[in-house]
Structure 1
Amino acid sequence: MAEYTSRKMFEWTEKLESDVLRLKNEEKMTYAAIAKHIGTTSNSVKHKVRRLQQAKGLEKYSHPKEKAELALPILESIRVRKGKPLRTLETHCGFGGMSRVYSQFGSVLGFDIVQDRIDACEASCEQFEGIKQDSEHQLLNLRFEKRKFDIVDVDPYGLPSRYFPHIFGLIDDGYLFLTFPMMGVAQINALTIKHYQVFWGIELSDKDEYIQKIVERLADYAYIEKKKITVEKVIKVDRIYRFVIKVEKIALTKLLGMRINRANS
């Protein structure tokens, strides 16, 4: 086995990721043993292995059944109410677990940074268009083009923070399905702590108020895009929360309960 403990500064590489998966899955080494072998921490190895397994689209980590059961009643109701095929955006199409569900109700635009995942979705999903692109960057193009969707699914491998507030600009009358990891799924270090504080107003001591803090900040982000949101449901699946959020375009005066006396204006 290659030795990595002589590294002065630890850095993940494709070869190192492959070796770690092999050590964990084939040689059944513990996280602590792998960490000692490659010269990093047990937590770092644990988070990396989970992230790599998620990227492979394993159901243990992607939870397609639970996500589909949550989405189907809403998709049915929106299609009936609007009386036309739905337009769906997936920021991370993965291997198409939810793409196949969404494509039953209309057109699906999906992003991924791995071409093999896009190819898999296009081969198995009707009405699916895939683009190999970083969705955080492509999102700004969609906003510039004034694209609108009935359903937006933000399902990243980590924290979804950088999709806000802009993602709300893509929905005038529809739903956002949002995946948010439990506190601690993302490795806790100084960067993570600051990230929670800046994007979500969350401190590590806020575990009991975690969902409430997220909902409050989502409402603030929606306000920036002149939208009203209603968080209709939050379910916990393994180590993630799945939010169902109704999004409506609304005048800010109405949202704030203001009355404008035009006779005196």
Structure 2
Amino acid sequence: MMELRKVTVTRYVTPLREGGSMPAIAEADDGFLYVLKFRGAGQGTNALIAELIGGELARKLGFKIPELVFADLDEAFGRTEPDEEIQDLLKFSTGLNLALHYLSGSITYDPGVYQVDPLLASKIVWLDAFLMNMDRTARNTNMLWWHKELWLIDHGASLYFHHSWDNWQEQAKKSFTLIKDHVLLKQATKLDEAHAIFKAQITPNILEEIVQLIPDDWLNGTYFNNPEEYRNAYLAFLTTRLNHADNFLEAAKNARA
């Protein structure tokens, strides 16, 4: 059974201003630094859910992903913060947040500098089409080069259907037109191969294990009655999307052409 470690945030180090949701580098009680994603940011816990599902699925599929942990934030944590905007963010983020292990010394992936293996590029494009991740473009690659390897970060803009849940069953079957803007699309010359590998690799058990990681208090909207109904809906969405993967595969291939 999959589990995530839980840490307690002990020190707010510095904000990462380039992120729209104002993530921050923070230290935890295990002595490590993390990129902390706040539940009190603009997209709320939905962005954390997308980050959790996207990151852990990517890890299961063999991609390099910084460790994800649940990060507990005490209500007293922000009282000494002089910046009012950050103080409000910390206040509204009391409780369970999500954090990624900070890859010290990593640099942002630059498509003009680093070439990615065609199969790896194809796998990343396929994954992002599956997750409906709109945020892996040349402007914002959300990939890091660390220890001569490519690491994927930031899946918070994935699964955007869950911000309203409107027509979510049909959304699961749709292609993903925004794949045309993917930074690795030109290098993704082995999409059919990636498709075959992942269709075999993603099992119902894997999807269920990942969905079961979502904490109850992140599932507190008004569309469904309780956390278990939300988890069942996420699982149904991902399962349906996998069963209709030919749709987004063809869209990606057409976008390349």
After TM superposition, is the score higher than 0.5? no
**Where is the helix percentage greater, Structure 1 or Structure 2?**
1
Pair member with larger Rg = 1
- TM-score, with normalisation over the residues of structure 1? 0.23
- TM-score, with normalisation over the residues of structure 2? 0.24
Q: Which has the higher contact order (CA 8 A, sep 6+)?
A: 2
